[in-house]
Amino acid sequence: MDAAELRRMQAPIKERYKIDPKAALITLKAKGSTDNDGIACKLETGRAIATAGLHPATGGSGLELCSGDMLLEALVACAGVTLKSVATAIEVPLNTGNVYAEGDLDFRGTLGIDKETPVGFAEIRLRFEVDTDAAQDKLDLLLKLTERYCVVYQTIKNGPKVSVSMQRM
């Protein structure tokens, strides 16, 4: 896909959202079930059922997916798609590229060993490696726009309002 194709594909969508801003508001959903043996949650991914469980650092077998890894994988996936989309739009030719996400956390927090230790990632690092002949100013713009338009990155960075509730089935 080239920049013109991308623009043609997105033009009617953008126009619709300009005319009717409410049309751009959607709710993405995820569902999981704890109806299984062991400490795990079955996730409906839209493609298959994935089972998440405890990380080995908290007693898990390592056979199930770790939700922390999944968060980083979602970041990598979103950042990679955004990078490719932006590169296409601003005509930065990418021969190939890699996207990496690393996150540091201290499991003493989630295990309740030390009440002063925060639960969750203390730091997340996102890194791109690209093979391109583009000038550095174009790469700087590519990075800036990728950061600006990556949904998962912006969500992690800006911490949206989150609510939690529980009800009987």
- Which run of H or E residues covers position 52? strand 49-53
Q: Strands 49-53, 96-105: parallel, antiparallel or unpaired by DSSP?
A: unpaired
Q: At how many degrees (to 10) do helices 67-89 and 3-19 cross?
A: 110
Tokens representing residue 104 in the block: 């540091």
State pTM to two decimals.
0.87
* Cα angle, residue 39 at apex, residues 77 and 156 outer, rounded to 5°: 30
**How far is Cα of residue 116 from the mean position of the Cα atoms in its chain?**
28
- The model's pLDDT over 26-82, given as tens digits with 9 standing for 90+, comes to 887 878 787 767 777 888 877 788 889 989 999 888 899 999 999 999 999 999 999
Q: What is the pLDDT of residue 36?
A: 67
- Any residues with CB less than 8 A from the CB of 169 and at least 6 apart, and which? none
